[in-house]
């Protein structure tokens, strides 16, 4: 299993094992009382460990405390989501109290839940605590011996089941470590090359809490810096300044018993924060009520929330003493860096990194609010941004270890399952894995998941018609008449036929699998390569339109799709002549002030077609332009797509961006939109792997800025880049790890200094 220890990439081989572990899933069947119960165990430590961490998963929200201090919580929303977090600094010599608080569902329970119908609440937690000194590893695991504290009088937990060895191998050992914050040690030659900006960047302390930046509205009065209600019905709406993810803290002093209610929303502007019927479903999920007692009240909400705006309603006279949010965003090492002479591009890089960061927990998520699922189509961008901003492969591994079938994962339970949404995500799963191999050279990882990749490519091949293309037909909710499911990334049900988008993904996944087959010695790789050749021929014969000078969907040829044409260039399906025609066509028919639109015309059931810009696909189009000699076009597209979001006030980048001067996205923080961070690092700084594991590196910077500097984390070490223009001379400095082979592509008249460390 691949893992990251410090700043070095280490691969550990774990054999396949079966049977049960001694980690018990413990909980209570609660028929009455409060939803929460507590489980306690004491550990005596003669010496302090060098490393201590806990792996845990739950059905129902759960939180871990060490010596009374909150460590983190698990939403408990999906099976196999294992949290792995360090707590070394929280221990002391002698007795240490280990406590787990376990509750119900991630959202508040309601009368419609199965728990109510069964007359009881079922929830469990399983955990393994590890204490490591040198080679010695001591563990503490959940079992029936833990002391149980419950308001309904139960004092012994129920053991529901044990974690199997196969589960432990697949999910627990793959979980991404959330480390405690530690200073970053950067080689001096990298600091000397890049400059003071990077030194300050890596020295910035980790932000553990967020607090309101302003009060938007209130009917409370201010006294001694606190808000005080003067009636029985009071409220305040806070603005935290940007979207955060974490656990709410609230302190108040009440003059009488009452109730406090919290409403959470991560709209970008206060005008969108309206609790109308339009928002009723969302508000119900992202709201919380808590009884107040006369006197001092301290509330800590272990249900994770993502929000920018927080509204608090009180039905009693009270004084608000403190409101804050303990952040749960991973304290990842801030290794990647980008800075140029254009502040807008600097902000793009940072906001893209932050957008990815708030979606990065145990695995990549589609959005921070409530999805908590790994979408493989999104994961390609997520992984690339993670590699360049944080140098972290562990979240990709954690994400690929998840096995839930359905639209998000790309896994198919059987090759005959045809009636599924987002069939292209099976191909994206393979491409995510290929990128992981390219950036880290981890052959064991390929071997470990190879059978699953084979099942993905076999499923795609089973969808292929006699023309070697996949024909997209509708997904039906039953066998007779009801067309329901989304068929591609824009959530459309209507994009049908032989599509360049779907078949470009199919083609790329065949090439990736052919290379994977060589690694494991599988002769089927030759078959996949042969199929890829046939897909290439048919793609160019059947999907190219001479009239439009572009590839088109065969079912509806009236529009030009952005994504299929961008990917055709990027994945090598379009020859040089067609590549130039496509780039020109996209500029003339799809480009606007706000980026390149989804389609060349309006289409209602495809996010509005030309009414909408996809930051996800703008990343692929910009990358295609970078790779085919149109760096100026790529940078201009970046300026329009992400720059205009910033001008509209975006604090995080949007799932889809309206092609409109005023409108904003309804999904304002979506990880797949963070690709601008990858583009600026990979194509402006110009550092990209040419061979797996950075055995050979490309240095091909973009020189239109007067100056830039940056750092790219690689599995070999940090690469520092600096560019300056002085007296008309272009000067580059490159700091690389000892022995790294670099293929440089810089202007003929440029001066290049390479420093090894």
pLDDT of residue 277 exceeding 80 = no
Are 367 and 273 in the same domain? Answer: no
pLDDT of residue 113 exceeding 90 = no
* CATH number reported for the structural domain that contains residue 64 in this entry: 2.60.120.260
- Arithmetic mean of pLDDT, 259-264: 93
Nearest-Å Rg of the Cα atoms of the chain is 27
pTM of the model: 0.94
**354: which 2 tokens?**
């932050």
Residue 280 confidence (pLDDT): 43
Residue 617's nearest CA partner among 595, 647, 636 is 595
- Arithmetic mean of pLDDT, 194-209: 93
Distance of CA 537 to the CA centre of its chain: 35
**333: which 2 tokens?**
């090492």
Q: Give the CA angle between residues 101, 107, 110 to the nearest 5°.
A: 105
Are 262 and 406 in the same domain? Answer: no
Q: What percent of the chain has pLDDT over 70?
A: 93
Residue 17 confidence (pLDDT): 56
Q: What is the DSSP letter of 206?
A: P
Per-residue pLDDT tens digits for 504-542? 999 999 999 999 999 999 999 999 999 999 999 999 999
* CATH number reported for the structural domain that contains residue 575 in this entry: 1.50.10.10
Query: Is residue 167 included in any domain, yes or no?
Result: yes
Are 435 and 303 in the same domain? Answer: no
Are 668 and 721 in the same domain? Answer: no
Per-residue pLDDT tens digits for 364-383? 988 888 778 899 999 999 99
The phi-psi region of residue 644 (left if phi > 0; otherwise alpha if psi is between -120 and 50; otherwise beta) is alpha
What is the domain extent for residue 230? 209-327
Alpha carbon distances (Å) from 572 to 277, 503, 512, 567, 699: 48, 12, 13, 8, 21
pLDDT of residue 117 exceeding 80 = no
pLDDT of residue 275 exceeding 80 = no
Do the strands 147-150 and 136-141 form a parallel or antiparallel pair, or are they unpaired?
unpaired
Sign of the CA dihedral running 703, 741, 675, 513: positive
Give the whole-angstrom CA distance, residue 45 versus residue 679.
48
Are 283 and 361 in the same domain? Answer: no
Are 36 and 154 in the same domain? Answer: yes
Per-residue pLDDT tens digits for 396-448? 999 999 987 667 889 887 778 888 888 999 999 999 999 999 999 999 999 99
Which residue among 625, 655, 684 closes a domain? 684
Q: Name the pLDDT band for 387 (thresholds 50, 70, 90).
A: very high
Are 67 and 92 in the same domain? Answer: yes
- Arithmetic mean of pLDDT, 576-585: 98
Q: Are 596 and 641 in contact (CB under 8 A)?
A: yes
Q: Are 325 and 247 in contact (CB under 8 A)?
A: yes
Are 439 and 514 in the same domain? Answer: yes
pLDDT of residue 614 exceeding 90 = yes
Query: Is residue 256 included in any domain, yes or no?
Result: yes
Are 111 and 260 in the same domain? Answer: no
Give the whole-angstrom CA distance, residue 176 versus residue 4.
9
Alpha carbon distances (Å) from 364 to 71, 359, 392, 397: 20, 6, 12, 10
Query: Is residue 662 included in any domain, yes or no?
Result: yes
595: helix, coil or strand? strand
pLDDT of residue 171 exceeding 90 = yes
Per-residue pLDDT tens digits for 476-486? 766 555 556 78
The DSSP result for 671-716, as a single string, is GGGGHHHHHIIIIIS-EEESSGGGSEEEE-----SSEEEEEEEETT
Which residue among 153, 175, 197 closes a domain? 175
Q: Name the pLDDT band for 330 (thresholds 50, 70, 90).
A: confident
Which residue among 684, 710, 731 closes a domain? 684
Per-residue pLDDT tens digits for 79-102? 889 999 999 999 999 999 999 999
Per-residue pLDDT tens digits for 120-136? 888 999 999 999 998 79
Domain count, the chain: 4
Are 679 and 704 in the same domain? Answer: no
Q: Give the CA angle between residues 50, 334, 344 to the nearest 5°.
A: 170
Average pLDDT, the chain: 91
Are 510 and 606 in the same domain? Answer: yes
Are 658 and 703 in the same domain? Answer: no
Q: Name the pLDDT band for 182 (thresholds 50, 70, 90).
A: confident
- Arithmetic mean of pLDDT, 351-370: 90
Q: Name the pLDDT band for 6 (thresholds 50, 70, 90).
A: very low
Residue 550's nearest CA partner among 571, 589, 578, 572 is 578
- Arithmetic mean of pLDDT, 584-592: 98
pLDDT of residue 283 exceeding 50 = no
> Which one is predicted more confidently, 319 or 205?
319
Residue 404 confidence (pLDDT): 79
pLDDT of residue 333 exceeding 70 = yes
C-alpha neighbours within 13 Å on the C-beta side of residue 293: 4
Q: What percent of the chain has pLDDT over 90?
A: 75
């Amino acid at each position: 299993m691949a893992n990251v220890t410090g700043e070095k990439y280490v691969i550990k081989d774990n054999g396949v094992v079966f049977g049960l572990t001694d980690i018990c899933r413990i909980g209570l069947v609660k028929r009455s009382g409060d939803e929460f119960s507590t489980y306690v165990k004491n550990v005596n430590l003669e010496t302090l460990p060098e490393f201590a961490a806990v792996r845990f998963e739950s059905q129902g929200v759960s939180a871990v405390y060490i010596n009374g201090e909150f460590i983190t919580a698990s939403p408990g929303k999906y099976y196999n989501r294992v949290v792995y977090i360090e707590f070394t600094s929280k221990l002391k010599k002698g007795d240490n109290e280990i406590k787990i608080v376990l509750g119900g569902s991630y959202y508040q329970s309601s009368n419609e839940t199965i728990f109510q119908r069964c007359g009881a609440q079922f929830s469990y937690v399983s955990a393994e605590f590890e204490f490591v000194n040198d080679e010695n590893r001591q563990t503490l695991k959940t079992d029936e011996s833990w002391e149980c504290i419950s308001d309904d009088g139960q004092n012994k937990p129920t053991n529901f089941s044990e974690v199997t060895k196969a589960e432990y191998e697949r999910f627990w050992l793959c979980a991404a470590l959330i480390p405690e914050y530690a200073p970053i040690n950067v080689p001096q030659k990298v600091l000397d090359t890049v400059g003071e900006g990077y030194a300050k960047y890596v020295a910035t302390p980790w932000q553990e809490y967020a607090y309101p930046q302003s009060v938007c509205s209130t009917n409370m009065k201010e006294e001694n810096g606190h808000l005080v209600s003067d009636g029985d019905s009071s409220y305040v709406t806070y603005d935290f300044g940007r979207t955060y993810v974490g656990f709410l803290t609230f302190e108040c002093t009440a003059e009488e018993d009452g109730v406090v209610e919290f409403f959470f929303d991560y709209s970008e502007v206060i005008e969108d924060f309206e609790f109308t019927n339009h928002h009723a479903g969302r508000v119900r999920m992202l709201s919380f009520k808590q009884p107040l007692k006369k006197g001092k009240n301290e509330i800590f909400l272990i249900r994770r929330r993502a929000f920018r705006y927080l509204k608090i309603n009180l039905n009693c006279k009270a004084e608000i003493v403190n409101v804050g949010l303990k952040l749960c965003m991973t304290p990842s090492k801030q290794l990647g860096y980008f800075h140029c002479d254009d502040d807008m591009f600097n902000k793009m890089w940072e906001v893209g990194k932050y957008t990815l960061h708030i979606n990065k927990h145990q695995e990549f998520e589609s959005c921070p609010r409530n999805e908590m699922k790994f979408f493989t189509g999104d994961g390609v961008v997520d992984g690339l941004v993670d590699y360049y901003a944080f140098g972290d492969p562990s979240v990709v591994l954690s994400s690929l270890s998840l096995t839930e079938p359905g639209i998000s994962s790309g896994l198919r339970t059987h090759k005959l399952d045809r009636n599924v949404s987002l069939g292209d995500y099976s191909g994206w799963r393979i491409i995510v894995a290929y990128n992981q191999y390219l950036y880290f050279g981890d052959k064991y990882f390929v071997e470990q998941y190879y059978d699953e990749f084979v099942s993905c490519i076999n499923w795609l091949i089973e969808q292929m018609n006699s023309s070697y293309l996949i024909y997209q037909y509708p997904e039906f909710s039953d066998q007779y008449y009801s067309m329901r499911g989304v068929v591609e990334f824009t959530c459309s049900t209507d994009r049908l036929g032989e599509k360049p988008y779907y078949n470009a993904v199919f083609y790329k996944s065949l090439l990736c699998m052919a290379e994977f087959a060589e690694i494991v010695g599988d002769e089927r790789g030759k078959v996949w390569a042969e199929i890829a050749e046939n897909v290439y021929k048919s793609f160019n014969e059947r999907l190219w339109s001479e009239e439009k000078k572009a590839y088109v969907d065969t079912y509806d040829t009236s529009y030009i799709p952005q994504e299929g044409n961008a990917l055709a260039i990027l994945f090598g399906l379009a020859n040089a002549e067609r590549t130039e025609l496509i780039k020109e066509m996209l500029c003339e028919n799809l480009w606007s002030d706000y980026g390149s639109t989804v389609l060349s015309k309006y289409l209602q059931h495809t996010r509005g077609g030309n009414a909408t810009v996809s930051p996800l696909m703008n990343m692929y189009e910009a990358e295609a332009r970078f790779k085919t000699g149109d760096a100026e076009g790529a940078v201009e597209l970046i300026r329009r797509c992400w720059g205009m979001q910033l001008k509209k006030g975006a604090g995080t980048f949007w799932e889809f961006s309206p092609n409109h001067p005023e409108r904003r996205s309804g999904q304002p923080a979506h990880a797949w939109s963070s690709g601008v961070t990858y583009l600026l690092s990979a194509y402006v700084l110009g550092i990209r792997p040419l061979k797996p594991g950075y055995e050979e590196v490309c240095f091909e910077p973009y020189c239109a800025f007067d100056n830039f500097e940056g750092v790219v984390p690689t599995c070999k070490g940090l690469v520092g880049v600096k560019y300056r223009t002085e007296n008309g001379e272009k000067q580059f400095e490159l700091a690389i790890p000892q022995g790294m082979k670099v293929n440089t592509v810089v202007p003929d008249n440029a001066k290049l200094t390479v420093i090894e460390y």
